[in-house]
Amino acid sequence: MSVLVIAEHDNASLKSATLNAITAAAQCGSDVHVLVAGNNAGAAAQAAAQVAGVAKVLTAEAPHLADGLAENLAEQILAIAKNYTHVLAPATASGKNVLPRVAAKLDVSQISDISKVDSPDTFERPIYAGNAIATVQSADAIKVITVRTTGFEAAAATGGSAAVESIAAVGDSGKSKFISRELSKSDRPELGAAKIIVSGGRGVGSGENYHKVLEPLADKLGAAMGASRAAVDAGFVPNDYQVGQTGKIVAPTLYIAVGISGAIQHLAGMKDSKVIVAINKDAEAPIFQVADYGLVGDLNEVVPQLVAAL
Amino acid sequence: MKVLVPIKRVVDYNVKVRVKADNTGVELAGVKMSMNPFDEIAVEEAVRLKEAGTVTEVVVVTCGTAACQETLRAGLAIGADRAILVETDAELQPLAVAKLLKAVADKEQPNLIICGKQAIDDDANQTGQMLAALLGWPQATFASKVVIAGDKATVTREVDGGLETIELSMPALVSTDLRLNEPRYATLPNIMKAKKKPLDTHKPDALGVDVTPRLKTLKVVEPAKRKGGVMVPDVAALVEKLKNEAKVI
C-alpha cells in the first residue's frame, strides 16, 4: 500500500508541517511517497528525500507550479493519485486550498483536519471548534486527507535517503494567475512550529502596546508571537498572527496568553498546548478555566516584571 | 452579472455545543441556529457588489431541511434578490452538497460564486473548493479583498505567513475569510421585504444527485478535558512554577 504526501514548500525549503503529515501518512501505509510540485524546487525535494520514513520523492517542475495555484497543483496530484490508497497534505492554508479539488475530481470524500489515525480507513477529527471529536470511517477507494499538524509528531528531518524521481508536469490551466505575495518578515520561529508562543488579545490595547509589551517577552523566551481574533480585527497585528478555530491551530510546549479573554473560537486553536499561562486583569475571564497557571493583574505591569524575572 | 451565494444553517457561534449522551453526535434539539458566519460575509460581499453596480442579481442557495428557509430569508434580508432551497432531510456531506450546488449552478449559470470558507459545525473547509473543481472553475479561497474588473476577479487571500494576490478568469469561485467585510444587520423593513422575495424549492432527485454519505460517523465524543489549573499570586510564583513544576523554561 503506497501513500502520497503533498509537500508544502516554497521551492527553496520544505515547510515543517509536511513532517507532521508524513508521520500521519506512515500510520496509513508503509510505503510513503512525497510529491514536490514546484519550480526550481530541487532543494525542497532534497530536503524531502532526507526525511526519515520517506521511500520516494516525486518532483514535478514548471513555472505554473511555482506558486501553488490550486487548479494546477490539483491536476498534478490527480495525474498520480490513482497509484495510491491515501493522499495526505497538512491542513495548512495550502493543503486546505488544494485537496478538496482533488477529492471532488476523484469522487471521494475528503477527511479534513484529522487529529488521529485509528486504522487506515478510520480517523478522528475535531468538529465544532474542537468541542467534539468525531471518529469517521471512509469507504472510498482513495482516502484524501488533511492532517492537523498538532495531532502528529514531526517526522525526523534527517536520516532518510529516498530516491528522487522526476515526473511530467501537467499543463497550465490558464484560469488563474499568481500576482503577488506579501509575507510578514520575522526572525522569530514560525507560529505553527514554535515551542513557546506569546499571544496577545484585545486587552493589550493597541498595536503599539502589543509590540512594546509582548516583544521583550518573546525575545527573552525565543518565542513566536500570536494573537486572538479580537486583536487582529482591531488591527493590532496582521491576520497571520491569528490563533483559533479559523486561524492557526497551535500546540506549543508553553502558550502565554496575555490580555486574551478566551472565547471558544480562540481556545479551539490553542487548548492542546502542553502548558498554558494566562495573564488577564479580569479574574472571571474564561481563559483561566483552561490555563495551568493564571495570574490576575495589569499586563502592562506584570509582563515587564516577568521579563525581568526570567 | 449574476452571483450565486451558497449558505448553511448551523448552530449559532455563541452556543456551547454538547455531545449527545449516546455519542452519536451533538445535541441540536432546542439549540439556536443561525447562518454560518462566513456565509453572512459572502452574502454581504455579493450585495455590496450589487450596490456598486458590478452585479445585477444575487441568488442565495442552501441544501437541507425545510427549516433552512429561515436561513435563506436571513440572506434575503441582507439584500439577496431570490433564494433556492434544495430540500432534503438526508444527512449531507460536503461532496454531496458540492454536487447539488453544481446542479443548481448549471441551471442558474452565475458568473461568480461567493461562499464561506468553512462551516463552523463540521469545520470541513471543502465545499467551495469541491464545487469549483466540479464546475471546472478557478478558485480563490480565504479572500480578504475582491476586485471585479471585466471578466477578471483579482482576489487577495489570507495565507500562512501573510497575504497573496491572484487573478482569476471568470466564471470563478471565491471563499470568504473573516476580514473581507463586516456584514450589516438586517433592518426591520428589509426583514419584512425578504418575506415577499421569491424562494424556489428543488429536490435532490430532480437534480439527479445521489447524496448518500461516504463517511460513516462511528462516534462523537467530548475532547479530553484540561485539568484545572492554579492561580498564582505574583510573577515570582509564576516563574517558580514554570521552572520547577512545569519545567518548560
Break chain B into its structural domains and give their ranges. 2-244
The three-state secondary structure class of A189 is: coil
CB contact under 8 A, B238 and A129: no
Task: Quickly name the fold that domain B2-244 has.
Answer: Rossmann fold (3.40.50)
Confidence of residue A1 (pLDDT cuts 50, 70, 90): confident
The residue-averaged pLDDT of B113-135 equals: 98
Write down the pLDDT at residue B243.
96
Task: Report d(CA B29, CA B13) in Å as an integer.
Answer: 16
Cell numbers that stand for A5 in this block = 504526501
Write down the pLDDT at residue B161.
87
Using a CB–CB cutoff of 8 Å, tell me whether B11 touches chain A: yes
Cell numbers that stand for B100 in this block = 447539488
- Chain B environment of A67 (Cβ under 8 Å): 164
Write down the pLDDT at residue B228.
75
The residue-averaged pLDDT of B15-34 equals: 96
Name beta bridge partners: A294: A278, B231
Confidence of residue B94 (pLDDT cuts 50, 70, 90): very high
Q: Which residue of A has its CA nearest to B118?
A: A246
- Chain A environment of B163 (Cβ under 8 Å): 181-182, 238-239
Tens of pLDDT along A99-123?
999 999 999 999 999 999 999 999 9
Nearest to A109 by CA among A83, A87, A76, A80: A87
CB contact under 8 A, B246 and A275: yes
Cell numbers that stand for A271 in this block = 487548548
Write down the pLDDT at residue B223.
93
Tens of pLDDT along A119-163?
999 999 999 999 999 999 999 999 999 999 999 999 999 999 999
- Chain A environment of B124 (Cβ under 8 Å): 110, 112-113
Q: Which residues of A155-167 are buried (b: 16+ CB within 10 A; e: fewer)?
A: bebeebebeeeee
Confidence of residue B237 (pLDDT cuts 50, 70, 90): very high
Write down the pLDDT at residue B226.
84
CB contact under 8 A, A139 and B214: yes
Write down the pLDDT at residue A273.
96
Q: Which residue of B has its CA nearest to A301?
A: B235
Tens of pLDDT along A265-307?
999 999 999 999 999 999 999 999 999 999 999 999 999 999 9
Write down the pLDDT at residue A194.
94
Write down the pLDDT at residue A187.
87
Confidence of residue B129 (pLDDT cuts 50, 70, 90): very high
Tens of pLDDT along B183-232?
999 999 999 999 999 999 999 999 999 999 999 999 999 998 887 789 99
- Chain B environment of A93 (Cβ under 8 Å): 142, 157-160
Using a CB–CB cutoff of 8 Å, tell me whether A233 touches chain B: yes
CB-CB contact of A48 with A25 (8 Å): no
Mean pLDDT of chain B: 97
